[in-house]
Chain A
């Protein structure tokens, strides 16, 4: 158990809809990272928050947004969903504002999103 909690585990929705994925980081971790993994694709970094502030941005679509709340949990909002958004979405956390050799990322078990 990594200590990172993601809900829901599975989500099925229709095209055009909007969903919210939730992540609770490990106790004491201030950074939250979001990744997307499509079928047979590698992990794609989307966005990172550190202590409530956006820290780094990856290949995140404009239809997607995220935030980190004062209690450090984070939400990833996906809107105007398309079939191609079907994927596993992982959240990870780390102590500092940057991952480091002595503070590796700890991943949750993901949310499987299916867009029909």
Chain B
């Protein structure tokens, strides 16, 4: 399974776009990029996933580089409620629960 590297922490001003990077240089052709977030002491929340095309939903946008070795999660207008730990996970399309592991993630703090 591809390993991911994320910054430990980031700050963002309220109302501005938050851009959270993730490196996954060993990603395989059949592996997806998933993003989850965990607001303090709450359960992780699924945000978005992608294979190679850029994706957008009501929560965020996911930009994947052409070589797929890195990606960026974009929260277009960050609010204080977006303060959370954001996890970038690279896994195949489906699999055993053992294969879905959460690393350390990026602590995003949205500042007023």
Taking beta carbons and an 8 Å cutoff, which residues of A are in contact with B? Answer: 2, 4, 33, 42-43, 45, 48, 55-58, 88, 90, 92, 96, 98-101, 103-110, 112
Residue total for B at the interface (Cβ-Cβ under 8 A)? 21
Per the bound structure, the CA–CA distance linking A108 and B41 in Å amounts to 11
The 24 listed contacts between A and B (C-beta, < 8 Å) are A2-B43, A42-B103, A42-B104, A45-B101, A56-B96, A56-B97, A57-B98, A58-B98, A92-B44, A98-B94, A99-B94, A99-B95, A100-B94, A101-B34, A101-B51, A104-B46, A104-B49, A106-B46, A107-B43, A107-B44, A108-B43, A109-B43, A110-B41, A110-B43
Are B43 and A4 in contact (CB-based, < 8 A)? Answer: yes
**Is chain B's interface secondary structure helix, strand, loop, or mixed overall?**
loop
Most buried by A among B44, B95, B102: B44
Are A101 and B49 in contact (CB-based, < 8 A)? Answer: yes
Chain B residues lying within 8 Å of A56, measured Cβ to Cβ, are 96-98
Per the bound structure, the CA–CA distance linking A58 and B97 in Å amounts to 8
Tell me whether A98 and B102 are in contact in the complex, defined as CB-CB below 8 angstroms, given that A4-B43, A104-B46, A107-B44 are known contacts. no
Per the bound structure, the CA–CA distance linking A106 and B45 in Å amounts to 7
Chain B residues lying within 8 Å of A88, measured Cβ to Cβ, are 41
Chain B residues lying within 8 Å of A101, measured Cβ to Cβ, are 32, 34, 49, 51, 93-94
Are B96 and A98 in contact (CB-based, < 8 A)? Answer: yes
